[in-house]
Structure 1
Amino acid sequence: MSTLHQDSIVIDGLIIAKLDRSVFEDMKKGGLAAANCTVSVWEDFPKTVDNIAQLKQLIRDNSDLVTLARNTADIVKAKAEGKTGIVLGFQNAHAFEDNLGYIEAFHDMGVRVVQLCYNTQNLVGTGCYERDGGLSGYGREVIAEMNRVGIMVDLSHVGSKTSEEAILASTKPVAYTHCLPLGLKDHPRNKSDAELKFIADHGGFIGVTMFSPFLKRGNESTVHDYVEAIDYVINIVGEDCVGLGSDFTQGHGHEFFDMLTHDKGRWRRLTNFGQVINPEGIRTIGDFPNLTATMQQSGWSDTRITKVLGANWMKFFDQVWGT
């Protein structure tokens, strides 16, 4: 691990791994100071509360490696102690159900990031896999309440129209925590140059993923393709609002992807990724130091590398969460 990587605050804007001690050990190996870890996608309110309770127990049981992160001070402390700060996040507002009061309740539990939709329609708006009806009236109330309590609005799997309306409706900047550019690969989950520019122009943030189905060369991709994608985004929006959002699914098998890619409403098959192979050189969370080395090999300045590894996320978290 290079000194630059070791000294940097490294943040992963999205991990949906099957969390256990081995993954936490890998986070340490990768030098992660913090990660936004998914605790809810299709689960309702009670099941999500159960997921949170279980994860908090897991964090307590592995307190030598991880700690719960509710703010940036917690992330700084985790880094100083050689631990990883676990940020609780949702990939769908489904668990809010039709009750605005649940939003503050979840914030009290430690939830700090919520993606509005997961691929399809919900009470808030529309996902990226179907005709986009935009943000609902309830969706506007949800965003206002998320702004008030300090939960980040994530739009990674959200449809284009709903995203645009959410960016304009939110009084706090919003993010694509894990996306890739459409300019490198045409895929419903990827964002156009115009969409990337629009969120950045409104103070928003872009976490770039390395999920191979969305990368230019798919399962043939390497860590160099990931750096190329980050570079592409930086060339459009600049280096101050871009970070990492790997979308690591470490530890999960076929059954998990089967659950994720079926819409809960009608059990429709949305997509089939087949076998997902992470880019060579960054196969696991522990390989993050290779990413820094590849950025250095690509001629990136130390300043740019430090920003993209996590300094940009830290500034953004402060804006959205408050202190």
Structure 2
Amino acid sequence: MSIEAEQLHQQSIIIDGLIIAKWNRELFEDMRKGGLTAANCTVSVWEGFQNTVNNIVAMNQLIEANNDLVSKVKCTADIHQAKSDGKTGIFLGFQNAHAFEDQIGYVQIFKDLGVGIVQMCYNTQNLVGTGCYERDGGLSGFGHEIVAEMNRVGIMCDLSHVGSKTSQEVILASKKPVCYSHCLPSGLKDHPRNKSDEELKFIADHGGFIGVTMFAPFLKNGINSTIDDYVEAIAYIVNIAGSDQVGIGTDFTQGHGQEFFEWLTHDKGYARRLTNFGKIVNPEGIRTVGEFPNLTEALLRKGLSATVVEKIMGKNWVNILAEVWGE
């Protein structure tokens, strides 16, 4: 690894906008090895209110038991604190608004528990809107109220797995910036989860944010992808959205087995099959969270300036989160 890349990685704030790995000390150790300053960690997908609260209890206990490595993030000041403490900040996120059930008041409850990002739908229909694997009915009336409440309390709206029409309506309805926390361009590979050039430009033009994933089934070369294929996708999106509104959202599933993917890929975790990813292998060069420094090096190798790389690796995320959360 070049000295320039090593130094840049060490001095930068490094943020992963989406990790859904198996939460344990081993993973936290790998986050520290990778120099991660903070990450959006999924604590709810198909779970309702009660089971999501249970997941947050478990995560709180895990953070406390490993407080030599990690700390909880509720505001951007906590991210800067994690950097100076040499820890990885954990902020909580949902990949589905399902945990709000039909209660708008639950939005505030989860904000108070430390939830900073919520994806409006996960692949299918819920009370808010439609995911990317169904005919898209758009943002519901209840959904409009949920977006307004998320804006009010300071939870970011995530549209990664959300249908095109619902996404557009959330972008227009939200008074705060929204994001695709983890997506790839369909310009490089046509896939229901990937976003068109028009969709990427639309969210960027409306002040939104794009986190780029490295999930191999959505990359051009599938499971044969390398870190350079991932960087190609990042550069592609920067070319559309500019260098200020793009960041990293790996979608690391580290530590999970096949059973977990079966749960993810069935509606509600148990009903109809929505998709089949087949074999899942992260791109060569960034197979684990601990290999994060390789990404800084690969972006520099692509010809991006140190200033732009620093933005993509985390600075942009901090700026956009500050707009939604406050400082």
Which bracket does the TM-score occupy, shorter chain normalised?
over 0.9
Q: 2:136 aligns with which of 123, 132, 135?
A: 132
Residue 151 of structure 1: aligned partner: 155
- What amino acid is the match of 1:291? L
Written as runs of structure 1 = structure 2, the 5 A alignment for 1:8-47 is 8-47=12-51
CA distance in 1, matches of 2:172, 2:190: 25
2: CA distance, partners of 1:15 / 1:266: 22
Q: What is the identity, as a one-letter code, of the residue corresponding to 2:60?
A: K
- Superposed displacement of residue 259, structure 1: 0.3
> How does the TM-score come out when normalised to structure 1?
0.99
For 2:302 and 2:326, locate their aligned partners in 1 and report how far apart those are by CA, in whole Å: 35
- Tell me, in whole angstroms, the C-alpha distance in 2 between the residues paired with 1:289 and 1:322: 29
Kept in 1: contact 2:263–2:269 (CA 8 A): no
Q: Output the amino acid matched with 1:47.
A: N
Q: CA deviation at 1:266?
A: 7.1
**Mapped partners of 1:95, 1:128: distance in 2:** 19
Q: Are residues 1:264 and 2:294 paired? A: no
Deviations 1:258-280 (A, max 9, x none): 00000018700000001100000
Partner of residue 316, structure 1: 320
The normalised TM-score by structure 2 is 0.98
Q: For residues 300 and 84 of structure 1, what CA distance do their matches in structure 2 show?
A: 26
Query: 1:214-225 maps to which residues of 2 (within 5 A)?
Result: 214-225=218-229
Shift of 1:298: 1.4
Q: Deviation above 3 Å: which 4+ runs of structure 1?
A: none
Per-residue CA shift, 1:15-55, capped at 9, x if unaligned? 00001000000000110000000000000100000000000
Which amino acid counterpart does residue 194 of structure 1 have in structure 2? E
Deviation at 1:300, TM superposition (A): 1.2
> 2 CA distance for matches of 1:154 and 1:264?
19
Counterparts of 1:80 and 1:265 in 2: how far apart (Å)? 39
SS in 1 for 2:292: helix
Correspondence 1:111 to 2:115: yes
Q: 1:286 aligns with which of 263, 287, 290?
A: 290
Alpha-carbon distance in 2 for matches of 1:233, 1:40: 28
Distance 2:168 2:246 in 1: 18
Please, which of 204, 210, 220 is the counterpart of residue 206 of structure 1? 210
Q: Which runs of 5 or more residues in structure 1 are unaligned?
A: none
Q: Does 1:178 align with 2:212?
A: no
2:303 pairs with 1:299 = yes
Contact residue 183 and residue 210 of structure 2 kept, 8 A = yes
Kindly provide the amino acid, as one letter, of the partner of residue 262 in structure 1.
H
Tell me if structure 1 keeps the 8 A contact 2:155–2:324: yes
Aligned with 1:269: secondary structure? Answer: coil
**Residue 145 of structure 1: SS of its match in structure 2?**
helix
SS in 2 for 1:98: coil
Root mean square deviation of aligned Cα: 0.8
CA distance in 2, matches of 1:55, 1:275: 28
Distance 2:185 2:198 in 1: 10
The structure 2 residue matched to 1:57, chosen from 43, 54, 61, is 61
Alignment partner of 2:298: what SS? helix
1:62-84 superposed Cα distances (whole Å, 9 cap, x missing partner): 00000000011000000111100
* SS at structure 1 position matched to 2:91: strand
Is 1:160–2:164 an aligned residue pair? yes
C-alpha change, 1:35 and 1:266, in structure 2 (3 Å) is closer
How far residue 125 of structure 1 moved from its aligned partner, in angstroms, is: 0.1
Q: Distance between the aligned counterparts of 2:298 and 2:17, measured in 1?
A: 19
